[in-house]
A and B are shown apart, each in its own frame.
Chain A
């Protein structure tokens, strides 16, 4: 009986501790990545609500403009991401943006961000990043690395 009581106490204590850590994590960090990202109608709408937004001055022929989807997150950790789709499928895809954790919609591309998973960027994805005003902007794509570098070099503040 005493052993059973000890076992139950240990179980209860483990649950209480897990609940305390969970509460502290959610209280200090806010909601999970899936919450907070909203789809914005267009790049222009994003530019109106958020600064600075980086736009590519160069895109390979294979990609279409404007972006198929644009995401925005406000609050303590603001960010934005845009998905640039191929002109013809199948074709390369490009994600461009700032802020992590990233929207769930990025799926495979999200693995390229250093803190996301231990396995990192899985082929055929590549990622490059550069600091703009103290924040890291990322380009993640199935484009060839040389093309991706040209896209990154051509990013300009609007």
Chain B
């Protein structure tokens, strides 16, 4: 049963990844928020379909299934030691990536002895008021409940983030605040408010939980990472649209992420190499975000029927995999 579930999940992850890649080529003009929504569903659907099956809800008979997970489970189960070793290496390696690249850094940041203090800041309050007014003027409905508050984080690093689950807080570090003019600041605040408007950390956490359940699946790893980038692009698109100043937001992104701090001089070669890899990856991601903002060729609003229809097609495709 477990082996069958793992094989079905692997198949669904790979097919979802290939389907998304194909759709990207065919419907390249789709807006960033729509891509993010589709990727989120691609991560959520496999565990939901497993729950569907476990609940005894209708599934295709084995002989009609596009992918016969039962028979593949039997084949792998009878595969002997070599198959077991290859499978363990593939799945175990992906779990290790998940642990060391996601869980351990998250735990470390939680276990910091003294978190930086957060203070109120008149300039930030004024920026939030301007951005909220712009959201309302653009007809954007913010989630019900308390509006996020905004604080200055007393650190020299350049940080801009949305904190909290039930009550969201926008935090901008002193180091970043000192670098930004008012238009850039509005852009940064609008980006974080867009995260809040799109469900905030609670929704991201839900997707991450689904990703945890599939920690062994390399295809879901790729889908989740693509989703995280797409979500940033979606919030950039929302912020640029609401403020109608994409260049200011691009400038704020460059100031926040453009020149990451190098590894300390006394760092070990391994740490220096790791810092360099991270620096290059971040630089590439920043360049993509800035280019997207400065070449706004994509339509703002994704056709809702297309996104709903595409999501249904994906759900049907993954359901047909057994």
Task: Encode A106-124 as 1/0 by CB contact (under 8 A) with B.
Answer: 0000000011101110000
Instruction: Indicate the size class of the contact surface on chain A.
Output: 20 to 34
Q: How far, in Å, is B174 (CB) from chain A's closest CB? A: 46
How far is B27's CA from A7's CA once the two chains are assembled, in angstroms?
Answer: 9
**In the complex, are the beta carbons of A10 and B74 less than 8 A apart?**
no
Contact indicator B309/A33 (Cβ below 8 Å) = no
Check A39 for interface membership: any CB of B closer than 8 A: no
Closest A residue by C-beta to B316: A14
Chain A minimum-CB-distance residue to B55: A118
Q: Complex: how many Å from CA A21 to CA B16?
A: 12
Q: Is the CB of A6 within 8 A of B62?
A: no
Asked whether any CB of chain A lies closer than 8 Å to the CB of B143, the reply is no
Q: Are B19 and A3 in contact (CB under 8 A)?
A: no
Range of interface residues on chain B?
35 or more
Query: When A7-B309, A32-B68 are in contact, do A17 and B63 touch as well, CB less than 8 Å?
Result: no
Interface assignment of B303: CB less than 8 Å from any CB of chain A: yes
Decide: A14 and B19 in contact? CB cutoff 8 A: yes
What is the distance, in angstroms, from A137's C-beta to the closest C-beta of chain B? Answer: 13
Q: Bound state CA distance, A120 and B2, in angstroms?
A: 12
B321 contacts which chain A residues (CB < 8 A)?
21
Contact of A17 among B29, B78, B317 (CB under 8 A): B317
- Determine the residue in chain B with the shortest Cβ distance to A30: B71
CB neighbors of A among B1-32 (8 A): 1, 3-4, 11, 15, 18-19, 22-23, 26-27, 29-30
Whether B19 pairs with A13 at a CB distance below 8 angstroms is yes
User: Is B205 in the interface zone, CB < 8 Å from A?
Assistant: no
Docked Cα-Cα span, A49 to B258, in Å, equals 73
Main SS of chain B's interface residues? Answer: helix
Whether a CB of chain A sits under 8 angstroms from the CB of B282 is: no
CB contacts between A and B, total, < 8 Å: 87
Given contacts A14-B313, A21-B15, contact A101 B74 (CB under 8 A): yes
B209 contacts the other chain (Cβ, under 8 Å)? no
Let me know if B48 is at the binding interface, CB within 8 A. Answer: no
Residue of B nearest to A23 (CB): B66
- Supposing A6-B306, A13-B19, A29-B72 touch, asked if A21 and B67 sit within 8 A by C-beta, the answer is yes
B70 at the interface (CB under 8 A from A): yes
B26 and A115 form a contact (CB under 8 A): no
Q: With A3-B306, A6-B306, A14-B19 in contact, do A22 and B66 touch (Cβ < 8 Å)?
A: yes
The 8 Å CB contact of A119, one of B3, B56, B74, B303, is B56
Give Cα distance in the complex from A25 to B321, angstroms. Answer: 10
A13 touches B70 (CB 8 A): no
A120 / chain B contacts, CB cutoff of 8 Å: 1
How far apart are the CA atoms of A9 and B28 in the complex, in Å?
12
**Could you say which of B26, B71, B316 contacts A33, with CB atoms under 8 Å apart?**
B71
Kindly state the separation between the CA atoms of A64 and B310 in the bound complex, as whole angstroms.
57
Given known contacts A9-B26, A29-B68, A34 and B73 CB-to-CB distance under 8 angstroms = no
- The answer, yes or no, to whether B75 is at the interface (CB within 8 Å) is yes
Whether, in the assembled complex, B77 has its beta carbon less than 8 Å from a beta carbon of chain A, the answer is: yes
Assuming the contacts A33-B71, A115-B4, asked whether A13 and B23 have C-beta atoms less than 8 A apart, the reply is: yes
Distance from A136 Cβ to chain B, minimum over Cβ atoms (Å)? 8
Q: A residues 1-51 with Cβ under 8 Å of B?
A: 3, 6-7, 9-11, 13-14, 17-18, 21-22, 25, 29, 32-34
10 A-B residue pairs with Cβ-Cβ distance under 8 Å, sorted by A, are: A3-B303, A10-B27, A21-B11, A29-B68, A29-B75, A32-B63, A115-B77, A116-B70, A118-B53, A118-B56
- Beyond the given pairs A25-B67, A25-B68, A34-B63, 8 more chain A to chain B contacts, judged by CB atoms under 8 angstroms and listed by A's residue number, are A10-B310, A10-B313, A18-B66, A18-B317, A29-B75, A77-B74, A115-B1, A115-B73
Seen from chain A, the residues whose Cβ lies within 8 Å of a Cβ on chain B are 3, 6-7, 9-11, 13-14, 17-18, 21-22, 25, 29, 32-34, 77, 100-101, 114-116, 118-120, 135
